[in-house]
Structure formats: C-alpha cells, structure tokens
Structure 1
Amino acid sequence: MSSVKFDHIDRKILHILQNNAKITNAQLSKEIGLSPAPTLERVKKLENSGVIVSYHAKLDPHEVGLGVSTFVQVTLIGHKKKYIDAFINKISEIPEVVECHHITGQGDFMLKVVASDIPSYQRLMLEEISEIDEIDSMESIIILQTFKDSRGVPIPEHIVLQNGI
C-alpha cells in the first residue's frame, strides 16, 4: 500500500464529480482552471487508481413509487462463514434490499430496504426475507423522514490505496 496525496485540483475534481457526475469534461476543466486534456487525464488517473468507482443517477424513491424505506437489523443463526456467505448470496438476489452492511454490535447485518407501501413491505418481509434460513432474528426501523442523504464522502488530504497506485 502507498499513500497518494491529492492536490487541490484533484480534491476539486472529486468534489465536483460527487455533486454532478453528468458534468462535461469541458465544463469540469473550466471549473478547475485546466485545459480539457489534463483534466481528462486527472479524472482517468482517479478512475484507474480506484478512487472513483462509478457514476450514478440518483433517483427520488417517492417519484418512482417507493414510499417506504426501512433499516432492518439482522442477526444470523451463527457466525460461521457458510452462514454469512449463504445469507449474502440470498439477500443479494432481492432487489428491494438496496444496501447490506456487515456490522458490529447487537446484530450481524444492517439492511436498507425499500418498498412501494406498508403492505408491500410486509409481504417482502414475510414471504422473502424472513424465509432466509440463516436468519435468526430481525428488527425493522421505518424511516419517517430523511434530512440528509449524501452519497458523497469528505475528501481527505491523502488516501491510502489498496493497489499501491
């Protein structure tokens, strides 16, 4: 592993792209004060090094008919690798589970689940998620309102990359 230092231009590029991934290279180059070729070169370097992983369109869940969002804390029947792997494989096949985090504390996993309404959520929980054999217990937390939903992350002065770039 090596430490890569970002200069102020790299940090500005990352900040801009996190806020607007649709920005053109020409507009990005204007905003950071470089010509298009070196701007593109810097973006490619950030992509190739693994700092930029992907680009997304962020959707409004309510506008696409997903009115219920929940967090579900899951405890497995055991901590053996076979239980964890089986659970992850099964939960990955359920599109309404939009996030799955392995956690410490009382539970083993924290899921973020979206559904169109409470009856749909109940059906999903009863007919799909609770039918996963590796689950011992679950606790649901319904999200009433979201005040901050930032997909961006703070940009540090440097980053340690796994691939040594």
Structure 2
Amino acid sequence: MQEKKSLKLDELDQLILEKLQADAKITNAQLAKEIGLSPAPTLERVKKLEKLGVIKSYHAVVDANQIGLGVTTFVQVSLVSHKKSVIQSFVKKIEKIPNVVECHHMTGASDFLLKITAKDIPAYQKLMLEVVSEIEEINHMQSMIVLSTFKHSHVLPLEQALED
C-alpha cells in the first residue's frame, strides 16, 4: 500500500532486464556477451538491480492447466468499510489463501480484484463458500470465470522506463 519512487534506468540496465525477462536462466557469461560488457561489470549491474529491488526474484512460469488447475477467476471484492484496520485484516486473511494468486487494491466500483486458481468449478465453489465468503470484512463479491486467455505476459515494457 506504499508507493515507491521509480528509478531511472540507463540503456544497459534496460538491456539486462530485457534479457533476464526473456530467459532468467541465462548465464552471466552469455548475458555479458549479449549486452557487450565483460562478465564482472555485468554481474555487478545485475547485483545492483537486485539490491535496489528492481529485480525482485526469479521464477519458473508453470502452466496451471498442465498441473490440473483448470479454472481461473477474477473476483471483484467490496469491503464493509474503508478503514485501515478493515483493509489490513482483509489483506492478511487473503494472503493465507494459496488459491488467491493475485490481490490488487483498486479504485472504482470494487475495492479489490483477486485472481484465483482452482482445480475445477466444484473446487472453486467450495473455496468461495467455505473460505473466501467467510471473511467478515467482505460486503460483496462478483466472480468472473476466465474462458480462455489470449495474452499472458510477465514481460514489462521497459522502453517506457527510459522515456522522459
């Protein structure tokens, strides 16, 4: 809930981030070769980007359907109040639910947008009835089931980071 000031990235930082977003398993030697630096300063720049929190972590992107999580939903949530204590309590409870893979505090008609994955519709229904709807800070929810996904990217548009 805290806004961070954005960092200014130079062209080499942007290039490093582009390469790592495309392939986080790239070796430092290969990364150095591709950006035109020697390995030592390349590693130094990567470590700096990690320390500053620009690079938060490295992950394997898992296909939810391949592992049996065939239902994805987005759920708009409105809370009973906008008091800080109510928001914090809601977020604390949502963080404990593994099926909630994203939670965004929003403006507009609802307060939060949740992205939820489940094995199937019965599993989703059980989760909503027995877990999510039991959160007393929730006033209203609206679910939207994803039928198909045409774009799903974790790659950020880095070229905009260099614009003034």
Normalising to structure 2: TM-score of the pair? 0.91
* Corresponding residue to 1:61 among 34, 39, 64: 64
Shift of 1:8: 2.0
Q: How many residues align?
A: 159
Q: Return the alpha-carbon distance in structure 1 between the equivalents of residues 103 and 162 of structure 2.
A: 29
Q: Return the alpha-carbon distance in structure 1 between the equivalents of residues 5 and 149 of structure 2.
A: 37
Residue 71 in structure 1 maps to residue 58 in structure 2 = no
Residue 157 in structure 1 maps to residue 159 in structure 2 = no
Structure of higher RCO (CA pairs closer than 8 Å, 6+ residues apart)? 1
Helix, strand or coil: the match of 2:90? helix
Shift of 1:19: 1.3
The runs of 5 or more residues in structure 2 that have no matched partner are none
Q: Return the alpha-carbon distance in structure 1 between the equivalents of residues 146 and 37 of structure 2.
A: 43
Deviations 1:69-116 (A, max 9, x none): 000000011111111111111111100000000001000000000000
Aligned counterpart, 1:108? 111
Partner amino acid, structure 1, of 2:52: S
* Corresponding residue to 1:42 among 42, 45, 56: 45
Residue 85 in structure 1 maps to residue 88 in structure 2 = yes
Aligned counterpart, 2:34? 31
Aligned counterpart, 1:120? 123
Normalising to structure 1: TM-score of the pair? 0.91
Shift of 1:45: 1.2
Aligned counterpart, 1:163? none
- Name the structure with the higher strand share: 1
The runs of 5 or more residues in structure 1 that have no matched partner are 160-165
* Corresponding residue to 1:97 among 100, 110, 114: 100
- The alignment yields a C-alpha RMSD, in angstroms, of 1.7
Partner amino acid, structure 1, of 2:119: S
